[in-house]
C-alpha cells in the first residue's frame, strides 16, 4: 500500500549535499510507489512563532499570515514526514527549527503521520555531530502520540557543493526512501 510522504527540506543550496540526499530519498520512495510532496522552506514565507498559543486554545490556524497555514493540512495528511537539514554548528538549520515551531496548530488536530525520517549533511567528520540535531527532531516527535523516528540518513564530511557525489550515503538515502511502504 502506498504512503503519502511529505519531505520538508531546509536546504538553501538547490544543488547542495543535503538536497542530493533528499533527491535520492524521493527517488527511492517514488520507485516504491509512494506519493511524495516536497516543501522547500527556501521557497516559502516563514515567520517566527510568537508563542501566543492562539492556535491551541482555539483549535485554529496560526494568527501569523505567512505560508505556514496553507501547509498545515499537507503536513497533517502525510503518513510519513521527512525533515531534511544541513547541520549548522551541530544543530538543525534555523529555518527548520522555525518551521517545527510553527507546526504548533497540529498539536490539537488530527494527523496521519506516524513515522519521521531525518536527513542531514554536515562538514564534520563524525556522525556524533548529529546527536543534537537528532535530539531536536526527537523533542518535536515526542509531542505527538504514536509517532516515532523511523530512520536517519546522515552524511558527514561534506562541505562544498558536490562533495557527496559518489558517496554511499546517496545509495542509503535511496534505500531508506524505497523501503517505506
The tens digit of pLDDT for each residue in 135-165 reads 999 999 999 999 999 999 999 999 889 889 9
121 contacts 17 by C-beta, under 8 angstroms: yes
List the domain range (segments joined by +) for residue 18.
4-178
Q: How many domains does the chain have?
A: 1
Q: Global pTM?
A: 0.95
Q: Does 59 have pLDDT greater than 90?
A: no
Please give the grid coordinates belonging to residue 77.
495528511
- Residue 125 neighbours by CB under 8 Å, 6+ apart: 156, 157
- What CATH number corresponds to the domain at position 75? 3.40.50.360
Confidence band, pLDDT 50/70/90 cuts, at residue 96 = very high
Torsion angles phi and psi, residue 5, rounded to 5: -115, 130
7-25 mean pLDDT: 95
* 117: helix, strand or coil: strand
How far the first Cα of the chain sits from its last, in Å, is 6
Amino acid at each position: 500500500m502506498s504512503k503519502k510522504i511529505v519531505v520538508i527540506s531546509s536546504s538553501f543550496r538547490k544543488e547542495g549535499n543535503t538536497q542530493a540526499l533528499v533527491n535520492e530519498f524521493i527517488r527511492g520512495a517514488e520507485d516504491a510507489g509512494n506519493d511524495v510532496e516536497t516543501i522547500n522552506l527556501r521557497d516559502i514565507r516563514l515567520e517566527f512563532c510568537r508563542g501566543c498559543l492562539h492556535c491551541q486554545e482555539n483549535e485554529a490556524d496560526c494568527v501569523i499570515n505567512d505560508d505556514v497555514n496553507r501547509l498545515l493540512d499537507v503536513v497533517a495528511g502525510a503518513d510519513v514526514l521527512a525533515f531534511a537539514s544541513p547541520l549548522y554548528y551541530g544543530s538543525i538549520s534555523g529555518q527548520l527549527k522555525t518551521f517545527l515551531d510553527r507546526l504548533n496548530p497540529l498539536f490539537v488536530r488530527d494527523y496521519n503521520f506516524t513515522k519521521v525520517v531525518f536527513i542531514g549533511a554536515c562538514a564534520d567528520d563524525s556522525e556524533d555531530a548529529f546527536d543534537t540535531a537528532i535530539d531536536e527532531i526527537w523533542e518535536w516527535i515526542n509531542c505527538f502520540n504514536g509517532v516515532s523516528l523511523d530512520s536517519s540518513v546522515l552524511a558527514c564530511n561534506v562541505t562544498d557543493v558536490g562533495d557527496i557525489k559518489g558517496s554511499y550515503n546517496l545509495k542509503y538515502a535511496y534505500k531508506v526512501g524505497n523501503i517505506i511502504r
